[in-house]
Amino acid sequence: MMHLPLQGIVVLEFCQYLSGPSAALRLADLGARVIKIERPGTGDAGRKLAIKDLWVDDSSLLFHTINRNKESFTADLKNEEDKAVLYQLIQKADVLIHNFRPDVMGKNGLDYATVQKFNPKLIYAEISGYGKKGPWKNKPGQDLLLQSMAGLAYTTGNGSNGPVPFGISITDIMAGSQLVQGILGALIRRQKTGKGALIEVSLLESLLDFQFELLTTYFASGQQPKRSVIANGQPLLGAPYGIYETANGHLALAMMDLHQLADTIGCADLKTFAKEDAFAKRDEIKQLLVDHLLKNETNYWLSLLQDAGLWAMEVMNWDELTEHEAYRVLKMEQEITVNNHAISTTRCPIRIDGERLLSAKPAPQLGEQNETIRGELIAGS
């Protein structure tokens, strides 16, 4: 069995929904023991977050996928006896994660300054919506709202349409990933110096960092990047970059020389544009491609483009993707079992020494490990 890099590290997760739990999930995949601290009776609000009414046992499918490989311990943060137990757990922990509003942990005596007294070597990692200061600090840290406020929705979709959000919770996942990076860096520093750390990530800052390419251009020019009216792929890139409809599907075209593209697909009208027109006249060029590519099927165009070494791919749905050998060879799926109910989900995308990181351990029932944790980590139990 592989010796995972975070084996022996104890993580206390005071989190709900997606951002914090996704960070703790990655730490668990890397070998950490993650103990999810949940409210008695109801637990993480994500347990009841239904997606198309998909439920397993008494919790949502989403909860099971993002909280696999963890343990659950129930404690009431407002109860002094429970809080005393939590302080004992904190003394044994290496990492504490939370994604509550900035004032919640402080009101309950679990802020960094307080818990550091119990464990000076603790890595205390928190995700807020908009940071601890400023007029937005108490706004709801919800993914769609952040995409809208941070300008990300104005990078997606065609310029002839309104703003379009990503179809996934990109803000939560990005923030969780960046929190993991901060935690791993702090653990390395602690190994060298013995010092704990306060790691702070906000959803807004994560999303701004995600847009660094566009924002850097904006800072330099003072102008808002403009999306293509037709086949927008990336606001900073010229034609043909984008997705186009064919006679039987869709085709993605990346960066390529316009004249080489014209010769390859037999579109002589493209030759009327100079190579430097790729950005300045991109919508005119893209309209030509829209009309031309509808004349034949995706595979016909792909064979021409790929034989010429041009960057083009078919646009797949999940049925098409999962049936493809290129997907199957990755073995990205794993199965977990909850009360005899099998769930297929994705595995950790990291490989270590050539080995995939798999865990069949399902998400815990609420308070499932209370007795085990009391016996192992809490004095006097």
pLDDT, tens digit, 9 for 90 and up, residues 210-232:
999 999 999 999 999 899 999 99
DSSP H or E segment with residue 373: helix 370-377
| Predicted model pTM | 0.94
Which residue stretches of 212-346 are H helix?
212-221, 258-265, 277-280, 282-293, 298-307, 318-323, 325-328
Report pLDDT for 186.
98
Catalytic residue flag (residue 283): no
Q: Which pLDDT value is given to residue 330?
A: 97
pLDDT of residue 143: 96
pLDDT of residue 48: 85
Fold of 10-210+352-377: Rossmann fold (3.40.50)
Q: Which residues of the chain have pLDDT under 50?
A: none
13-64 confidence digits (pLDDT tens): 999 999 999 999 999 999 999 999 999 999 999 998 766 556 777 788 889 9
pLDDT for the residue numbered 1: 61
pLDDT value at residue 52: 55
Domain boundaries, the chain: 10-210+352-377
Q: Are strands 341-346 and 33-38 parallel, antiparallel or unpaired?
A: unpaired
Take residue 184 and report the two structure tokens written for it: 């791993």
262 neighbors 254 (Cβ within 8 angstroms): no
Cβ atoms of 24 and 70 closer than 8 Å: yes
pLDDT of residue 51: 62
Q: Which residue type is seen at 26? A: R
The predicted pLDDT at position 2 comes to: 76
Number of residues that make up the chain: 381
pLDDT at 244: 98
> Which one is catalytic: 172, 209, 291, 319?
172
